[in-house]
Amino acid sequence: MVDSITTQTPTPSDQQSMLTRIPIEISISVGKARPLVRDLLGLEEQSVLVLDKLVSDPVELYVGDKLIGVGSLEMVEGDETGRLAVRIIEIADLQSSLT
């Protein structure tokens, strides 16, 4: 049985250090489609949705609904499965967002 529990309040630097080890998900937005409802209802396998962007246009990087950067799509070099990567063109000051 524990007689007493000692709690320590983490310092701000400890808190920031803990935060930097949390994995996050970055969503990449390549464009939007605006079909009519009748076209949406007619979608089936192999249908094609035309996006509002060109293949060469920059993509947007989001964490949640916050825009954190802009990049360009690339194929992963040496990856025969055809996976995509994003080369960062512009990035927000993420360090100041944590403090």
Question: pLDDT band at 92, cuts 50/70/90?
Answer: very high
DSSP state, residue 57 = S
Give the number of C-alpha atoms closer than 13 A to the C-alpha of residue 46, restricted to the C-beta side. 0
**How much is the pLDDT for 79?**
85
Q: What is the per-residue pLDDT across 42-66, written as a single tens digit (0 to 9) for each?
A: 999 999 999 999 999 999 999 999 9
Domains, the chain, with CATH or none: 23-98 (2.30.330.10)
Q: What is the per-residue pLDDT across 18-51, written as a single tens digit (0 to 9) for each?
A: 778 899 999 999 999 999 999 999 999 999 999 9
Residue 26 neighbours by CB under 8 Å, 6+ apart: 61, 62, 63, 68
Residue (of 89, 91, 92, 82) closest to 56 by Cα position: 89
Residue keyed to tokens 């293949």: 55
